Amino acid sequence: MSSFNLPDVTLLALLADDVSCGDLTTESLGIGMREGRVMFRARGAMTVCGSEEATRLFQLAGARARLWVPSGSHAEAGRLLLEAEGQVAALHAAWKTGQVLMEWASGLAGAAAAIVKSAEVDGRRVAVACTRKNVPGAKAMSVKAVRVGGATIHRLGLSESLLVFAEHRLFVGETPAQTVARLRAREPEKKIVVEVGSVEEAREWAGAGADVLQLEKFSVEQVAACRQLVDALVPERHGVPLLAAAGGVKADNAAAFVAAGADLLVTSAPYMAPPADVAVSFELPEA
C-alpha cells in the first residue's frame, strides 16, 4: 500500500501540460461526447506504483474510475490494474499521462524491489537506501516508488542531513577529529556521515568518530577490508561506524556487498530503470 499520493494540484498540472488547448483529434472527429471504457493491465509481471495517481487523473478529467491494484502490490501479466468509464474526451485526456506515469514509477519501484530482495545473505538483510539523484521535478513520485519497492531514502535533499564530501573538506582547514567534534556540537541530533574514497580515508574518519562511512565506489574487497578495520576499533572510544556501500550498487551485486560486511546499501540505480509495460485497451460501453 502506498504511503502517500500526489496531490490534485500536481495531477491537474500534468493534465494541463498534455491538454493545454483541448484534444484536437478527438474534437475534430466529433467523438468527445460518446461513452467508452478504458482498462489498464500489466503486460508483464511488475511491482505496481502510481495506480492511485492514474486513477485520480481519470477522475479529475471527468471520468468514473476504479482502482484494482494499489501501489506496492505485485501484479502478474494480464492483471487488471484500473479501469475508467465516461465520455471519450475525458478518457483520452487522462489516458497517456496516466499510463506513462504508472509505467515510469512502476519501473523504478520494481528496480528498488529487486535490489532489496538481493540485499540478504544467510538470513542477514541490510537496508537499501536511494539517493537524491532523482529526476529534477519528480522527487515526490520517485520517493513513493522507492518506498513501495521496499527501499528507503538516503537523503531527501541538502537540508535535513549531514553528509561530508571531499568537496566540503577541500575548504576546511582542520583535522577530521576537529571537524567531527564541531559538527557534533553544532548539530547534536544528527548523524555525521562522511564519504570516503579509500580504505585509508575510512580508517582516518572512523578514528575521528564519524557515525557512518559512505564507501564511494569501493570494491567488494575494499568493503571487507573496512569491515575488518572498524570491527577492530574500541567501541568505548567512539563507537563503531556504520558502513554504507555506495556507487555502482545494483541487484546483481547487492548480495556481495552484504556478504562483505556492509551495513547499508546506497544506490541511485532504480532512477535509471526502464519503465514497466502497462497495456491499455479501449472498449465501447456494455449495452
Whether pTM exceeds 0.85? yes
Crossing angle (nearest 10°) for helices 8-18 and 51-61: 70
**Whether 132 and 255 share a structural domain:** yes
pLDDT of residue 287: 55
Among candidates 106, 124, 86, 132, which has minimal Cα distance to 227?
124
Q: What are phi and psi of 236, to 5 degrees?
A: -65, -20
How far is it, in rounded angstroms, from Cα 142 to Cα 270? Answer: 9
Q: What are phi and psi of 109, to 5 degrees?
A: -65, -40
| Amino acid present at 132 | R
**Whether 160 and 222 share a structural domain:** yes
**Whether 263 and 278 share a structural domain:** no
pLDDT of residue 234: 61
**Whether 125 and 265 share a structural domain:** yes
Three state DSSP letters for the chain: CCCCCCCHHHHHHHHHHHCECECHHHHHHCCCCCEEEEEEEECCCEECCCHHHHHHHHHHHCCEEEECCCCCCEECCCCEEEEEEEEHHHHHHHHHHHHHHHHHHHHHHHHHHHHHHHCEECCEECEEEECCCCCCCCHHHHHHHHHHCCCEECCCCCCCCEEECHHHHCCCCCCHHHHHHHHHHHCCCCCEEEEECCHHHHHHHHHHCCCEEEEECCCHHHHHHHHHHHHCCCCCCCCCCEEEEECCCCCCCHHHHHHHCCCEEEECHHHHCCCCCEEEEEECCCC
**Whether 191 and 224 share a structural domain:** yes
How far is it, in rounded angstroms, from Cα 223 to Cα 244? Answer: 9
**Whether 39 and 132 share a structural domain:** no
Among positive and negative, which fits the CA dihedral 103, 106, 108, 110? negative
**Whether 131 and 25 share a structural domain:** no
Domain that holds residue 278: 8-116+273-283
**Whether 265 and 278 share a structural domain:** no
- With respect to residue 1, please indicate whether it lies within any of the assigned structural domains: no
pLDDT of residue 80: 98
- Predicted confidence pLDDT, tens digits, the chain (287 residues): 456 899 999 999 999 999 999 999 999 999 999 999 999 999 999 999 999 999 999 999 999 999 999 999 999 999 999 999 999 999 999 999 999 999 999 999 999 999 999 999 998 999 999 999 999 999 999 999 999 999 999 999 999 999 999 999 999 999 999 999 999 999 999 999 999 999 999 999 999 999 999 999 999 999 999 999 998 876 655 678 999 999 999 999 999 999 999 999 999 999 999 999 999 999 998 75
What is the CATH classification number for the domain harbouring 52?
Answer: 3.90.1170.20
pLDDT of residue 285: 85
> Domain total for the chain?
2
How far is it, in rounded angstroms, from Cα 141 to Cα 42? Answer: 19
**Whether 153 and 267 share a structural domain:** yes
What is the CATH classification number for the domain harbouring 194?
Answer: 3.20.20.70
Among positive and negative, which fits the CA dihedral 101, 107, 109, 112? negative
**Whether 138 and 252 share a structural domain:** yes
Instruction: Identify any residues that bridge with 212 across adjacent strands, giving them in sequence order.
Output: 193, 242
**Whether 126 and 212 share a structural domain:** yes
Name the grid cell of 178: 576537529
pLDDT of residue 233: 79
- With respect to residue 2, please indicate whether it lies within any of the assigned structural domains: no
How far is it, in rounded angstroms, from Cα 88 to Cα 76? Answer: 28
**Whether 154 and 112 share a structural domain:** no
pLDDT of residue 238: 60
How far is it, in rounded angstroms, from Cα 172 to Cα 249? Answer: 30
* 8 Å CB contact between 233 and 212: no
pLDDT of residue 286: 77
Q: Which residue has the cell 460501453?
A: 285
pLDDT of residue 240: 86
